[in-house]
Amino acid sequence: MARMKFYCDAERCIECNACVTACKNENEVPWGVNRRRVVTINDGVPGERSLSVACMHCSDAPCATVCPVDCFYTTDDGVVLHDKDICIGCGYCFYACPFGAPQFPEDGAFASRGKMDKCTFCAGGPEEDNSADEYQKYGSNRLAEGKLPLCAEMCSTKSLLAGDANVVADIFRKRVVKRGASVLNKGVSYQNASLRASSVGKDK
């Protein structure tokens, strides 16, 4: 049993938005809904960082806590999923989620909310694995096929990592160690990084 997690490495993300496109294509998400988005901080200035964000599949998910119809469940792999047959589109999960993961397709007059849609970690929904019904409601179920989410699988800089939290953390730990060494060695790979911070300040 794994504990599935995403990790986006802000030192590697180049804001290509391929993860956003891949997700949209793989899951045929409704118009106006983006399960994943790339956000760029300090856009256009040195020290710019980009992050790809979707559902974080929280261990203690606030969306599941506030849902008035209790439609969320966590799979054995630690993926937070919801049942669209139960969902009433009230929007409370959207208020409760700090990351803005829950999305609502427009349904009817005055932009009223349809059933919530969010990242499923490419794990479908409560329907039978890879059934047409499941695909139509939740998109593909790559996990059932033994594959990881497409956004992370096709990330060109391997910035976005998805998989068992232990493995992801291990990869990231190795990266940090290498980066730390390169910075100590007066590497130039990243300005304003934590260990070089004070010297950068002095240069100015």
**Residue ranges that bind another protein, judged by CB under 8 A:** 15, 17, 20, 32, 34, 37-45, 47-49, 51, 53, 62, 65-71, 85-92, 94-100, 104, 110-113, 192-194, 197-198, 200-201
Helices (H), the chain: 18-27, 62-66, 92-96, 132-138, 150-153, 165-184, 197-203
CB of 189 to another protein, least distance (A): 13
Q: What are phi and psi of 88, to 5 degrees?
A: -110, 0
Q: How many Cα atoms occupy the beta-carbon half-sphere of 116 within 13 Å?
A: 28
Using CA atoms, how far residue 29 sits from 10, 25, 54, in Å, is: 26, 8, 14
CB of 3 to another protein, least distance (A): 21
Q: Which is nearer to another protein, 144 or 183 (CB)?
A: 183
Report the alpha-carbon distance of residue 117 to residue 93 in Å, rounded.
Answer: 11
- Dihedral angle of Cα 176, 10, 117, 165, to the nearest 10 degrees: 0
Q: Which is nearer to another protein, 145 or 181 (CB)?
A: 181
The answer for residues whose C-beta is within 8 angstroms of residue 113's C-beta and 6 or more apart is 89, 90, 91, 104, 105, 106, 107
CB of 8 to another protein, least distance (A): 11
CB of 75 to another protein, least distance (A): 17
Token pair of 56, please?
A: 């974080």
CB 70 within 8 A of CB 47: no
CB of 2 to another protein, least distance (A): 25
CB of 122 to another protein, least distance (A): 19
